[in-house]
Structure 1
């Protein structure tokens, strides 16, 4: 059924609550601070404000709180966007090109066989506890990541576990028999199915000689397919990292927020299950902002006086000196709070308030699409286990209408989980909207209108899903038009939505998405599929083998072709239906003149240009 656009509710956030840091709710996470070589020179510290001076204060409303403050064991962008103000990584990202640049490592070299990397660290970098960053501190972080208990590593995303695939094992190639089509009695294979099966057999033939070799070298402390070999401090400012197999995307991957370097003093002292437990409440990094408090669902950050890159701060004398990030789940309440000058800006503008913002001359900053929204289809469900039923869903959903009605202009429908920016061709046999085709497939499998549980999140906006309830309503309407009945399962985001849909207890349809952290196909595949057995009830020896083979290929035609084949496998198996590549946006009052938007959420507060709102100065 369709739903009307809801009226904007009354603003429920008081000005006093925001300014005093007592707003109940959730807290925005802010991402990746990029250090630029041109600003790396030392300079005299910026003058501290006098006792009577009000520091430049950024008040930002976000849709959800950080799930945790330790980036090594968290997996959501809200957490990363806070932690990336506080922490830094060995490699950073160029804000204009997205290419890797010097971070805490000022340079690096790679051996000819691609298995050894040597990083030269910056000197004079201090952690927020006053201790110096050196090679031993970097090694301490790697050793901690490599020995994380399973209970913690499972919560990690865009960090060590995903970069090095540390807990994975080498897959076993399927046989030709494993790839045969499974047809019900009396069912005949379509031309599309026959072509897909031939394609799968060709993919298997191409993989066979690859898996006849010794894929990995050296010992492993974890899974047989772990790329991590060893790490050592070869001098005070030199770190040597050894791999067990080539990983051409490694340098880019080291910029991920989960690879942030924490102060060694915070890595010990806790229980055996998590010696670095203090980082969950008191993050300790080298970034331009130090953590002050996370109280009443508000995060407060302040400029770190001993930040090593003073040139960067001096080059932008209008950067925020204080940041207060509060949570306002409703996009309409976020807009009302900004109109009332209770906040300076907010993240995740919804399509239906974009026009109001433009008319009122607000600064609207858009991000290019580098995320994907998808519809998960659990293969353990009686009906979703049938490929024809999943195909019927794919034909029933009108992704073009979804993109145009409920997302910011420029959002495109998706035929794969890899954004166009990665330049991997879409599968040729895409599922264009076709209600007749959907109904024929439903008749073929004997579907008689049984309900399918459909989960969607409440009280949250995500950059890939700004209006969850309305997206659910639109998809439900599309499915109803071909005769598929759904049973709504709304779950509050903060009540464990992600854990629920990725558990063995839920076996229906669900909405979820993924935001890329660096320019890599493997980042999306790992981020979405690493938990595929629990989230989608899906396993594929062919897919696992394809992904492993593709990771060690250098950029070029062979690598692009390998990932195109992976997309074809996913298109055939359909554990999920890609929906859209969303454009997200932020909005600000006139006192904010520049915000460094990034498709990869590489947005550091030190680069914001602003003045204080009259509400703060008065």
Structure 2
């Protein structure tokens, strides 16, 4: 299977995008197995997915469609408490750091088996870490091992790019000791990311899991990623029926925890949001993610359950300074911010509960700086700044994506229309390009082609570094901050904050960095935080909305 490069930075990946789709079970008797936890047993949940998964190996995943499916099949050493960004044990029952924060001891669950029947133990944990660390060739590409690069750094054979990871030792069958090269605020919560789920070593070896091949900007993935994903989760891979655009998972009867109530989950791929709504009303699916905010009231009136998540995201206008030298002037970037009527955009385009973003993280994250003021819409101020910068004739190439819905960006076309109208009122000319999200948009953004682009982020965890560190912690990012005089300084400030062991001091450092980002650097324009929703038929129970879009369906029941 060949996949085009869809993203080089995790902040656009659709971990921020979770739509669970379930195809209604027709004419099939429900089993009444005891799977624990009470509630109706059996049946098939059909959830309308907005797109096809890239593959089924979570380590190589960069898109939300893959993550959504993988979450049901895999588990990591840690996870997140349902409905929160709070880290909790998963395959590990407890974890303890050394006094210097560089060595972590994980006590593992016993009597856990992978879907292929092989045993989960400390050797399996270390096998996975060493697999990640020892990627070769195409496996080291940003488009392939993006999460590792963004969170752990380099690989074993890249001494010029050191890694956070140092070693893993299986002290005994239930004890894995992981050593880091430096302290990070991200550990151990980073291990809750779906990318760092634990796979069966036997299956990884049997199906040649690391045999990734590159052909230009496209990659070919091995049998493990396409046909044989093997984790420890409550559901197992059954099939990917491309002819019918469905992915089917079946219940893992040997699951070590409370067994799933459902017999199957079917993810039915329906790219158009209106078509997903029609499919729900017709009874063809049981739910879908990110219903249009304008439809919430009507869906509730029709008897559907609209579950609203917290606004744990940010929507922004990206700025690439590479192609147009005028964008390197801070006054020009400030003019863009003054030119956008964010309050009106929120009122007209986003759901109730959305609010203007003053920085690149929501106020629930430690490191959010309350002293940063909201920049109010002022078109005359924007024009004045452009004049001061000698940029009254500014023409910018601007991109907005089609064939996509995101928690922070429910209708890209409408949002872009509002933003473009505001920029044009300030005298800015726009050369506008529209491309499908997975059909050229992300690739062009990653290659630095547009000057302006729409993107956003849904947090993976509650740490500040997962937000601003992901965006600006590397100078080779899509904002091209490495070409700026301040890019290296910003990356250094973020690295210092991330490695600060004292939580109080670390929070202050991130507050200072956020202030610098907004007042001195402004590499992009934060626009809004908005609460996304997912919708289900009234007979679907047990799904807990997650601020991380980390919903798992082992607890779901139907009927």
TM interval, shorter chain, is 0.7 to 0.9
**Are residue 346 (structure 1) and residue 346 (structure 2) matched?**
no
SS of 1:607's equivalent in the other structure is coil
CA distance in 2, matches of 1:449, 1:327: 44
Q: Does structure 2 conserve the Cα–Cα contact (< 8 Å) formed by 1:452 and 1:508?
A: yes
* Correspondences of 1:94-105 after superposition (within 5 Å): 94-105=81-92
Q: Does structure 2 conserve the Cα–Cα contact (< 8 Å) formed by 1:455 and 1:511?
A: yes
1:533 aligned partner: 476
Aligned equivalent of 2:151, options 153, 157, 163: 163
- Single out whichever of 440-449 and 297-306 deviates more from structure 2: 440-449
1:524 aligned partner: 467
Cα deviation code 1:178-198 (max 9, x no counterpart): xxxxxxxxxxxxxxxxxxxxx
1:221 positional shift: 5.9
Aligned equivalent of 1:436, options 371, 374, 380: 380
1:362 positional shift: 1.3
Q: Does structure 1 conserve the Cα–Cα contact (< 8 Å) formed by 2:307 and 2:535?
A: yes
SS of 2:422's equivalent in the other structure is helix
Q: Does structure 2 conserve the Cα–Cα contact (< 8 Å) formed by 1:30 and 1:85?
A: no
2:405 aligned partner: 461
CA distance in 2, matches of 1:284, 1:440: 59
CA distance in 1, matches of 2:510, 2:157: 27
Cα deviation code 1:7-56 (max 9, x no counterpart): xxxxxxxxxxxxxxxxxxxxx9569xxxxxxxxxxxxx9459xxxx9941
Aligned equivalent of 1:515, options 444, 448, 458: 458
Q: Does structure 1 conserve the Cα–Cα contact (< 8 Å) formed by 2:77 and 2:92?
A: yes
Looking at CA atoms only, which structure, 1 or 2, has the larger radius of gyration?
1
CA distance in 2, matches of 1:157, 1:512: 21
Q: Does structure 2 conserve the Cα–Cα contact (< 8 Å) formed by 1:86 and 1:287?
A: yes
2:164 aligned partner: 227
CA distance in 1, matches of 2:198, 2:209: 21
* Correspondences of 1:294-313 after superposition (within 5 Å): 294-296=240-242, 297-309=245-257, 311=258, 313=260
CA distance in 2, matches of 1:413, 1:151: 40
Question: For residues 368 and 415 of structure 1, do their structure 2 counterparts lie closer, same or farther at Cα, with a shift above 3 Å needed?
Answer: same
**Are residue 107 (structure 1) and residue 94 (structure 2) matched?**
yes
**Are residue 274 (structure 1) and residue 219 (structure 2) matched?**
no
Q: Does structure 2 conserve the Cα–Cα contact (< 8 Å) formed by 1:137 and 1:264?
A: yes
Q: CA RMSD in A?
A: 2.5
Q: Does structure 1 conserve the Cα–Cα contact (< 8 Å) formed by 2:105 and 2:175?
A: yes
Question: For residues 260 and 554 of structure 1, do their structure 2 counterparts lie closer, same or farther at Cα, with a shift above 3 Å needed?
Answer: same
- Single out whichever of 553-562 and 472-481 deviates more from structure 2: 553-562
1:164 positional shift: 2.2
1:72 aligned partner: 59
Cα deviation code 1:439-485 (max 9, x no counterpart): 10112223344431111111111112110111111100111111112
**Are residue 250 (structure 1) and residue 193 (structure 2) matched?**
no
Q: Does structure 1 conserve the Cα–Cα contact (< 8 Å) formed by 2:116 and 2:203?
A: no
Q: Does structure 2 conserve the Cα–Cα contact (< 8 Å) formed by 1:30 and 1:82?
A: no
2:272 aligned partner: 330
SS of 2:167's equivalent in the other structure is strand
**Are residue 374 (structure 1) and residue 362 (structure 2) matched?**
no
1:430 positional shift: 4.7
CA distance in 2, matches of 1:237, 1:497: 45
Question: For residues 532 and 487 of structure 1, do their structure 2 counterparts lie closer, same or farther at Cα, with a shift above 3 Å needed?
Answer: farther
**Are residue 568 (structure 1) and residue 556 (structure 2) matched?**
no
Q: Does structure 2 conserve the Cα–Cα contact (< 8 Å) formed by 1:73 and 1:157?
A: yes
CA distance in 2, matches of 1:150, 1:544: 27
SS of 1:560's equivalent in the other structure is helix
Aligned equivalent of 2:496, options 528, 546, 549: 549
CA distance in 2, matches of 1:492, 1:141: 34
1:225 positional shift: 4.7
SS of 1:495's equivalent in the other structure is helix
Question: For residues 527 and 308 of structure 1, do their structure 2 counterparts lie closer, same or farther at Cα, with a shift above 3 Å needed?
Answer: same
Q: Does structure 1 conserve the Cα–Cα contact (< 8 Å) formed by 2:151 and 2:190?
A: yes
* Correspondences of 1:81-160 after superposition (within 5 Å): 81-149=68-136, 151-153=138-140, 154-155=142-143, 159-160=147-148
Question: For residues 507 and 494 of structure 1, do their structure 2 counterparts lie closer, same or farther at Cα, with a shift above 3 Å needed?
Answer: closer
Aligned equivalent of 1:358, options 291, 300, 308: 300
Cα deviation code 1:45-88 (max 9, x no counterpart): 9459xxxx994111111222222221111222221111111100
Aligned equivalent of 2:526, options 562, 575, 578: 578
Q: Does structure 1 conserve the Cα–Cα contact (< 8 Å) formed by 2:236 and 2:249?
A: yes
| TM-score when normalising by structure 2 | 0.86
CA distance in 1, matches of 2:166, 2:79: 23
Question: For residues 368 and 429 of structure 1, do their structure 2 counterparts lie closer, same or farther at Cα, with a shift above 3 Å needed?
Answer: closer
| TM-score when normalising by structure 1 | 0.78
- Single out whichever of 581-590 and 565-574 deviates more from structure 2: 565-574
SS of 1:420's equivalent in the other structure is coil
Question: For residues 96 and 589 of structure 1, do their structure 2 counterparts lie closer, same or farther at Cα, with a shift above 3 Å needed?
Answer: closer
1:532 positional shift: 5.4
CA distance in 2, matches of 1:433, 1:488: 23
1:528 positional shift: 2.5
CA distance in 1, matches of 2:350, 2:526: 15
Q: Does structure 1 conserve the Cα–Cα contact (< 8 Å) formed by 2:314 and 2:527?
A: yes
1:99 positional shift: 2.1
In the alignment of these two chains, the number of paired residues is 509
Q: Which runs of 5+ in 2 are unaligned?
A: 1-16, 21-31, 214-220
